[in-house]
Amino acid sequence: MKLNSVSSRDNSLSTSELPINIALDISTLGSGYRFGQKAGIFRFSYELSRVLIDAPDCNLSFCSGESLELLIWTKRFLEANPDLSRCPFILHNRLVGSWKNIQKSYQFIEELIDRIHQLGFTRSKRLKETLVTLVKPTNSLLELNDLKDRDIYHSLYHAIPLELKSLSLKKFITIHDLIPILYPQFFIKEVRDKFREIINSLDSDTWIICNSESTKRDLCNYRPDLEPQKIFVTHLAASDSFYPCLDQNIINRIKEKYTIPSVPYILSLSTLEIRKNVPHLICCFLKLVEQEKIEDLHLVLVGRKGWLDNNIYSEISNLDPRLRERIIFTGYVPDEDLAPLYSGSLVFVYPSLYEGFGLPPLEAMQCGTPVITSNTSSLPEVVGNAGIRVAPLDEDSLCHSIWEIYQNDSLRNSLSTKSIEQAAKFSWEKCLQQTISAYRFALVH
């Protein structure tokens, strides 16, 4: 479809009145779909895509320019999600004609690598990468002639492809956090190197969107050469699937599904990795129940295994069995089960060492659940005065805060009311309008 870009359209109309032609790189959706990791960046990518596709002042097209493998998984994601698959997709002309053959070849490679991996071949990942390059008919995944008609190219995570540098469209990238740079010990080398590549790719031609003022400060401190006026903040929001579940029968059914007994429980939700400070939460829980002789309180930990998480499980294995059975690992929980889990909990505790935004506390607040979280990074922006904030390594403060909520119904009810009020300040519609405002600002500068 031939589009007229803002710069070439009728000069009698102001830029603020013209629809914006956007190419949105949604490789993050393919990545999340491939690995089953539907946490922060995936949620953001899905929700922003969802609201942009229906925005009346936007002409949206999807693309995936990071790698052929991610492109294939992105297309698979769209096939499984018809609410987004109706959006036009930009694909290099040489890929369009051979797409079915590429898919068949990739499926054959997947099956071959699976068999080789089962035989114990440890370098199957590198072999797969080599084989995938053989079925790629062109180095570029994007059709530049189509992109010339766009006003905006927006990558939701990955570095902007080099071949786009020559195009006059405005190039945006979303930076979610700088944690691999600030806390490199929490990430494997492959992740650290990839992230530095992304941050180092930012230049004077790049427009940047951050998900919090905290992330913007971190970026400006690390890259003081970047112009602050070209860095925008668009806060995220919780999905509508998070709500105060008042039906005790539903709550009980979900608790039974995840073997949670009919007792008060602390809930925490995150990828189970050291950065999320899960061992600290476990230690504080054990300290509190022993110190105050609490017989009924349980700790429910929701989330997949993450980087370098072996210490989390070693903490548990050495416990007295009576204490060990009071710590419940649910693994991944689908969205439809989360609202009852949040709503049924005594308190949601999120002692993360550092966050770019921090969606789980916002999800909990939208369910009317009292929140205790860290006083670092972006988390004060998210919870405001509606939650209890403590230093992430302060055992006494965390234990005291949980104890106060456990024994004080009035405090718990007050925090529940404040949580709902705070969560209402965030919405994907607001994020959409902030994003469009950033696009329009860039188009006139």
User: What would the pLDDT profile of 66-76 be if each residue is shown by its tens digit?
Assistant: 888 888 899 99
269 and 205 in a single domain? The answer is no
Residue 353 belongs to a domain with what CATH number? 3.40.50.2000
Q: What is the pLDDT of residue 38?
A: 78
189 and 262 in a single domain? The answer is no
390 and 404 in a single domain? The answer is yes
In a domain, 54, yes or no: yes
Count of helix runs (H) and strand runs (E) in the chain = 21, 12
In a domain, 346, yes or no: yes
Q: What is the pLDDT of residue 432?
A: 98
Q: What is the pLDDT of residue 11?
A: 47
Tell me how far apart the alpha carbons of residues 381 and 217 are, in angstroms, rounded to a whole number: 13
Which domain covers residue 81, as residue numbers? 6-98+137-237+428-443
| Cα angle, residue 258 at apex, residues 257 and 264 outer, rounded to 5° | 110
Residue 231 belongs to a domain with what CATH number? 3.40.50
* Secondary structure of residue 329 in the 3-state scheme: strand
Query: CA torsion sign, 262 to 268 to 273 to 276?
Result: negative
Evaluate if residue 23 carries a pLDDT over 50: yes
65 and 161 in a single domain? The answer is yes
183 and 292 in a single domain? The answer is no
Q: Is 53 exposed, middle or buried (0-12, 13-18, 19+ CB in 10 A)?
A: middle
* Secondary structure of residue 229 in the 3-state scheme: helix
261 and 206 in a single domain? The answer is no
Strand residues in 50-140 grouped as ranges (E): 58-63
In a domain, 117, yes or no: no
In a domain, 121, yes or no: no
332 and 414 in a single domain? The answer is yes
Q: Which residues contact 231 (CB under 8 A, 6 or more apart)?
A: 208, 209, 210, 216, 219, 220
In a domain, 125, yes or no: no
88 and 229 in a single domain? The answer is yes
In a domain, 382, yes or no: yes
Which of residues 10 and 445 earns the better pLDDT score? 445
Which of residues 242 and 98 earns the better pLDDT score? 242
- Number of domains composing the chain: 2
293 and 386 in a single domain? The answer is yes
Q: Residue 108 has which token pair?
A: 């054959």
